[in-house]
Structures are given as structure tokens and as C-alpha cells.
Structure 1
Amino acid sequence: MVIQQLRIARPVSDLTASADLYCTGLGLHKLGEFRDHDGFSGIMLGDKTLPWHLEFTFCQHHPVQPATTVDDLLVLYLPDAACWQQRCQVMTRAGFTEVTSFNPYWAKNGATFQDRDGYRIVIQHAAWQA
């Protein structure tokens, strides 16, 4: 059986700010949300045409501080040079900070960005090849 959908869930310090940042920077859309389900709230972001989406959560009763490392990455591939360059510019304008990649491999054909909670996204100028 093949998995049909991938959700990447991350705790964040501010649901609205994180959702706005990722929608603007990555061109994602709000797919759904929930409020105060046993103290948890969340927002799902993605695109209905993609087999993956992001979920950001916040627990009102026991806030979890995001605990990232410099090598925890979300890597997105854009093979077209103009699209890659434009996405990198949009990421910066949206409020992501461009940072030096911990692993130099990602700097060869990509750019690494960090959000306000320390999560890192690589916009890789390449096509995925298995």
C-alpha cells in the first residue's frame, strides 16, 4: 500500500504569523484549521494539487517551544532557474531570513531560509531524482 498524503506537523510560537509567512513565502494556502481541541489549535497549509501539507500547532495549556537544529530541513525542489530565483526573492520579502546552510551540499544549488521559530527551508535549484 502506498501512502497517499504526507503531513509535516510542527509546533510554532504564533499560528497566525507562521501561517502568513509560509503562505506568502511558499505560495501555500490554508487548507483547514481547528481551535482548542483539548487545548490544541492548528492550521494546515498546502495546495490541493500537492500530496503533502504542513500543519502548525499551538497548545494553549502547555506551549511547546520549537526545538530545531541547523540540519532539520524542509527541502523543496524547483528545477526552473527563473522560478527558483523568484521564489528565493519572495521568501526574503515574506520575512524569512536567508542563512548559511550547515551542510554545504545545500548551498551548491540552493538557498536556505529560516523562519521566526528556527525552522529551515531549502529552496533547491534542481529536479528531484531518486
Structure 2
Amino acid sequence: MPFNAAAHVRMARPSRDLQAAERFWVSGLGLDILYRHEADGTPGRHSLLMVGRPDAAWHLELVHDPAAPTDPRPTPEDLLVVYLGEPVPDSLVEQLELHGGKRVPAHNPYWDTWGVTVQDPDGYLLVLSTRTWSNS
């Protein structure tokens, strides 16, 4: 099957603490747990948490290898942008902060004009944009 618009996309990255990540992404943002695997300590086996929406063609996979942890190394340009198409509710930002997030100024001021940037517990940035987006 060729890579096309219907292909499912997985964004994977390391996490220091999957419980903290779950609080942020699930309890804070409201994503669903799509899959979870707890490693038993066997080398080469990773713990992971997949979050997203059941009907979406994407998911975020957060990975932790207890035998050889990889420290997340986010940069100011590592953004996950969610286009809301409406003002960002203060209650959503408060919910994210209550569950381990931290509102931060964006590296690129464009995102401060068009949304809110929140740092997750691993230091990665989530941008909630007031704009809409279409690839067409």
C-alpha cells in the first residue's frame, strides 16, 4: 500500500515518566489511551503509552525503557500543534497546568499571536492554535 492521505501516522518519542505523561495528555488534554505496555525489566523491552483519538489517523507514542532510559531532548522547535479553530479556553490551559503542564512563551512569536504554548512534563511543546489548517 502506498503512503497516502489515509496512512496512519505514529509520532514516537521518549518519556522520563509515563505516569506524568499520561496525566498531561489524558487527564489534561483529554486524549484517550489507545494502548499501553508495561515492560517487565527484560532488556530490549520498552514500556509505552499510545494516546490519541480512536477515530484519528494518528497517535502519539510515549516510550520509556526502564533498562536503558533515553533522556528526552526537546528543542524550541519540537512542536505538536493542535489547530482548534477557536479561542483557546482558559479552562483547558488550567487543566493542562493542573496535570503537569507549564504555559511558556513560544520560541517563535507567531505561536503567541495565534495560540498558547504549554510544555509537557518531558519538556516538549504543545501549541493550542486558534487558527484552522487544511492541507488542500
- Calculate the TM-score normalised by the size of structure 1: 0.89
- Calculate percent identity across the aligned residue pairs: 34
In structure 2, distance between residues paired with 1:129 and 1:53: 19
In structure 2, distance between residues paired with 1:91 and 1:34: 24
- By how many angstroms is 1:18 displaced? 0.7
Give the superposed CA RMSD. Answer: 1.6
- By how many angstroms is 1:67 displaced? 0.5
Greater helix share, 1 or 2?
1
SS of the counterpart of 1:45? strand
- Give yes or no for contact 2:12–2:60 (8 Å, CA) kept in 1: yes
Corresponding residue of 2:118: 113
Structure 2 counterpart of 1:27, which letter? G
Say yes or no: does 1:10 pair with 2:22: no
Unaligned runs of 5+ in 2: none
In structure 2, distance between residues paired with 1:11 and 1:30: 17
Corresponding residue of 1:99: 104
Q: Which runs of 4+ in 1 moved over 6 A?
A: none
- Calculate the TM-score normalised by the size of structure 2: 0.86
- Give yes or no for contact 2:105–2:117 (8 Å, CA) kept in 1: yes
- By how many angstroms is 1:60 displaced? 1.4
In structure 2, distance between residues paired with 1:17 and 1:89: 16
- Give yes or no for contact 2:23–2:100 (8 Å, CA) kept in 1: no
Corresponding residue of 2:65: 59
The count of aligned residue pairs is 128
Corresponding residue of 1:78: 84
Greater strand share, 1 or 2?
1
Corresponding residue of 2:28: 25
SS of the counterpart of 1:19? helix
Say yes or no: does 1:35 pair with 2:29: no
SS of the counterpart of 1:20? helix
Corresponding residue of 2:129: 124
